Amino acid sequence: MVFDARSASGSRSRRDATRPAAGRRPRSAAPSSEPEQDQEPDPVDLTQDEPATEVEAEEGPVTLRLDGKVALVTGAGSPDGIGYATARRLRDLGARVAIVSTTRRIHERASELGVTGFVADLTDEAEVGALADAIADQLGDVEVLVNNAGLASRTSPEVLRPVAQLTYDEWRAEIDRNLSTAFLCSRAFVGGMSEQGWGRIVNLAATAGPINALPTEAAYAAAKSGVVGLTRALAMELVADGINVNCVAPGTIYTAASTVTEIKQGLGTPIGRPGTPDEVAAAIAFLCSPAASYITGQMLVVDGGNSVREAEFR
């Protein structure tokens, strides 16, 4: 089914984008208003095992499977990109996958993967709200969210300019594309995850910004650093609701959009080559899985060891 959020966003979304349904799991009943009588505590028997509590992990082996879970991967329009590789992995793990990009080519990717495609501008609040409604109608509430959108495109090219020459509009475009998209999508879907008491959010950061930086990329570096901050704040806000929030920071990854300079940078890593989208997708898929239940608020770097090396030995 073809869905374009731009045509649907004109009508008011059923969801209030500024106030997502905050459905924290019910806690134990409130204490009685009657005064408690003084009682001596029972003696503690240190020879017995600790009683089970609700904070203990569920019994049974951990699993990578996502059978029946609804997963959304943003920025999946390129057939050789990280988003596409991630959608394929989540599909193979049993998830019911939705993918979204800004152009109708997403329907070609959806057909190739056997998943559902949506068109939406994720920097537009109204279109994100319309997208959330459409996914809920067709697939159900999103339980796994991968905020991968942010790659530059022909209609919105990457801005490479020193700060002194950077216009405010160019700055805002980079921040919106790489950070605001993650904020708007996370806000749109955390309410449903909270109501279910389970969820996974994985944001795509980068080594540029959180770890290092290059001249002329200040806006991009600032946005990706902001992704890490957003990830950690969300992780602390949502941990009581069974939602884990993490981010993955790729280094030099080889795609069709890679420049000769970027490929040479990849050859200079300790591993000796650029990474692949599927290698990044493998890290993302793990953090999306039930097996990552004790990991939240973390940044996983996927860069072939490049950020670890202090100097190149010859």
pLDDT at 61: 72
Task: Let me know if residue 231 belongs to a domain.
Answer: yes
pLDDT at 257: 79
Q: How many domains does the chain have?
A: 1
Task: Let me know if residue 38 belongs to a domain.
Answer: no
Angle at 240 between CA 238 and CA 242, to 5 degrees: 75
Task: Let me know if residue 115 belongs to a domain.
Answer: yes
Q: CB atoms < 10 A from the CB of 111, how many?
A: 10
Task: Let me know if residue 206 belongs to a domain.
Answer: yes
Active-site residue set: 220
Q: Which residue range forms the structural domain that includes residue 280?
A: 63-302
Q: What is the DSSP letter of 178?
A: I
Task: Let me know if residue 3 belongs to a domain.
Answer: no
314 residues of the chain, pLDDT tens digit each:
557 776 665 555 555 544 444 444 443 444 444 444 455 555 545 444 444 444 455 556 789 999 999 999 999 999 999 999 999 999 999 999 999 999 999 999 999 999 999 999 999 999 999 999 999 999 999 999 999 999 765 456 677 899 999 999 999 999 999 999 999 999 999 999 999 999 999 999 999 999 999 899 999 999 999 999 999 999 999 999 999 999 999 999 998 878 888 889 999 999 999 999 999 999 999 999 999 999 999 999 999 999 998 766 55
pTM of the model: 0.83
Q: CB atoms < 10 A from the CB of 194, how many?
A: 22
Amino acid type, 302: V
Helix axes 181-196 and 125-138, enclosed angle (nearest 10): 40
pLDDT at 261: 84
Whether 73 and 90 have beta carbons less than 8 Å apart is answered as yes
Cα separation, 143 vs 192, whole angstroms = 8
pLDDT at 230: 98
What CATH number corresponds to the domain at position 285?
3.40.50.720
Task: Let me know if residue 14 belongs to a domain.
Answer: no
Task: Let me know if residue 6 belongs to a domain.
Answer: no
| Residues, the chain | 314
Task: Let me know if residue 87 belongs to a domain.
Answer: yes
